């Protein structure tokens, strides 16, 4: 899989933003370590998801592209697939929950995608998408459980190591495990001693339970503010990769997530969505005690005004 990540890096050149690394002297003094943030909130469409979407869709055959692409996503992967579809002149259909963040839905529509809504309380998004795929012959590009998607996401960590060199630890948000597994594979192949830690909300701790019990756990529609982590479980591909390459899983409270979003906004002048703030929240809440040089991937910055207003007023 590491070879696939290297190939994805070449494929993405000229299309992906080489996102910056940012630091905070205030934070470093506070926690007693050197913290480096990989700002994927400044990636195209505002999240790391562009990497996996472009890598997987650009590899499709002419026939597959001509049939159109379908996916299911609450927001960031939806936007990424829609943008890549516009770039490559491919029809895209996105299955989205009817309560998806408005900013993510509007952006997805703006890139030209056809949106099919579903009720997350009564229907399964994957089932809805697969039905549409069977009816229309679309090519499925799932949000995380696909080798080419995982390889694309892994380029974020690969790029980070190019920028900062050796790290003692790498903290990565975890939803379906695409970014986490891809980043862990990259880290272990470049610096085997780097400790890879996945972070997810306490209210959506399916991956943490799965990691420690070695059995796949599911949580349907977890009520976390971190909407990018509301996937019900790790995937058939990502679960074994997480077990093999990740060293530790940690969870954080909703308050810790909110505090991290506020820190980014007020102290670093960064707009970060709750899912993207998970790594920092683990450090600020002392659920992870950082030592030495620590990398944190900020996975995205797509947050709607109502949510940000609520956070800043809390």
* pLDDT tens string 183-219: 999 999 999 999 999 999 999 999 999 999 999 999 9
Tell me the residue ranges of DSSP E strands in the chain: 21-22, 34-39, 69-72, 92-97, 114-118, 139-140, 169-173, 195-201, 248-252, 293-298
Q: Cα dihedral sign for 231, 200, 108, 61?
A: negative
Catalytic residue, from 183, 210, 275, 299: name it: 299
pLDDT at 99 over 90: no
In 68-194, beta strands by DSSP E: 69-72, 92-97, 114-118, 139-140, 169-173
Reported as a single tens digit per residue, the pLDDT across 49-79 is: 999 999 999 999 999 999 999 999 878 999 9
**Measured between alpha carbons, how far is 268 from 265 in angstroms, rounded to an integer?**
6
Any catalytic annotation for residue 61? no
Cβ neighbours of residue 43 closer than 8 Å, sequence gap 6 or more:
16, 17, 19, 50, 51, 300
Nearest to 58 by CA among 14, 94, 95, 18: 14
Write out pLDDT tens, residues 150-187: 999 999 999 999 999 999 999 999 999 999 999 999 99
Angle between helices 147-164 and 2-12 (to 10 degrees): 80
Q: How many residues does the chain have?
A: 314
With contact defined as beta carbons under 8 Å apart, do 183 and 196 qualify?
Answer: yes
| CA atoms lying within 13 Å on the CB side of residue 62 | 0
**For the sheet containing 248-252, what is the strand order?**
21-22, 34-39, 293-298, 169-173, 195-201, 248-252
The verdict on whether 299 is a catalytic residue reads yes
pTM: 0.94
The whole-number average pLDDT for the span 239-250 is: 98
Query: Cβ distance 235 to 272 under 8 Å?
Result: no
Strand pairing of 21-22 and 34-39? antiparallel
Among 9, 49, 104, 250, the active-site one is 49
């Amino acid at each position: 899989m590491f070879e696939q990540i290297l190939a994805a890096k070449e494929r993405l050149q000229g299309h992906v933003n080489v996102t910056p690394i940012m630091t905070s002297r205030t934070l470093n003094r506070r926690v007693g370590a050197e913290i480096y943030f990989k700002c994927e909130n400044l990636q195209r469409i505002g999240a790391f998801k562009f990497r996996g979407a472009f890598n997987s869709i650009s590899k499709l055959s002419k026939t597959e592209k001509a049939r159109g692409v379908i996916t299911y996503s609450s927001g960031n992967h939806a936007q990424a697939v829609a943008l890549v579809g516009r770039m490559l002149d491919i029809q895209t259909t996105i299955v989205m929950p009817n309560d998806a963040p408005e900013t993510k839905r509007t952006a997805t529509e703006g890139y030209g995608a056809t949106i099919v809504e579903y009720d997350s309380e009564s229907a399964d998004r994957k089932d809805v998408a697969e039905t549409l795929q069977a009816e229309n012959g679309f090519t499925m590009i799932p949000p995380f459980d696909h080798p080419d998607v995982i390889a694309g996401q892994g380029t974020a960590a690969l790029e980070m190591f190019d920028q900062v060199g050796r790290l003692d630890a790498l903290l990565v948000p975890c939803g379906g495990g695409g970014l986490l597994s891809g980043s862990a594979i990259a880290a272990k192949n470049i610096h085997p001693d780097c400790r890879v830690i996945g972070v997810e909300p306490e209210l959506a701790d399916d991956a943490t339970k799965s990691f420690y019990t070695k059995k796949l756990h599911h949580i349907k529609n977890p009520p976390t503010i971190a909407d990018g982590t509301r996937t019900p479980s790790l995937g058939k591909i990502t679960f074994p990769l997480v077990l093999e390459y990740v060293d530790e899983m940690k969870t954080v409270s909703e308050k810790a997530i909110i505090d991290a979003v506020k820190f980014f906004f007020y102290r670093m002048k960064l707009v970060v969505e709750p899912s993207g703030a998970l790594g920092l929240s683990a450090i600020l809440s002392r659920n992870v005690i950082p030592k030495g040089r620590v990398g944190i991937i900020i996975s995205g910055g797509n947050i709607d005004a109502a949510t940000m207003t609520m956070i800043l007023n809390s």
